[in-house]
Structure 1
């Protein structure tokens, strides 16, 4: 049995969701402290926190999308246009699948 040093994750890391989650946790902390009587939080205090969290999360999401898109394009260039599973590359057999079934477009 071979041991792989690479970790495989169930899903990719999404920093936008982390930022938005931290903003929502900040809102919960603010209103939780108010409910516990530690401080007074105005009813409108959540609006700037949520709006700022949404803006920062969208910026982080756009940056992440751009980085992953560029990284994918670079990997595709290194492998070449005819890589495994691509038209004209190894792994394709003229439009038929294993067992002689035809591919669906």
Structure 2
């Protein structure tokens, strides 16, 4: 490769590429916000796989009605496990107190 060609490539790598990347990131329109640690943890627990924090905020702020299933899916894993144990125990207690009668 001739020296002029090498210089052009070097110039483009040093000056043109960073400018393009800077313009692109500025065009994306990001904002920095301050939130409490508890708010961050709440958002993090609602974050689905492959979802950004922006996606979580947009999903939660749409105001659409959520089903109970959506709510339970949004809970942290340990809380879901506690919920399963609690519901199972409650069902067993109800079944013992009021056994179902088979209708033939």
Asked if Structure 1 and Structure 2 have the same fold, meaning a TM-score greater than 0.5 normalized by the shorter chain, the answer is: no
If asked which structure has higher relative contact order (CA below 8 Å, sep 6+), I would say: 1
More helix by share: 2
TM-score, L = length of structure 1: 0.30
- TM-score (norm: length of structure 2): 0.31
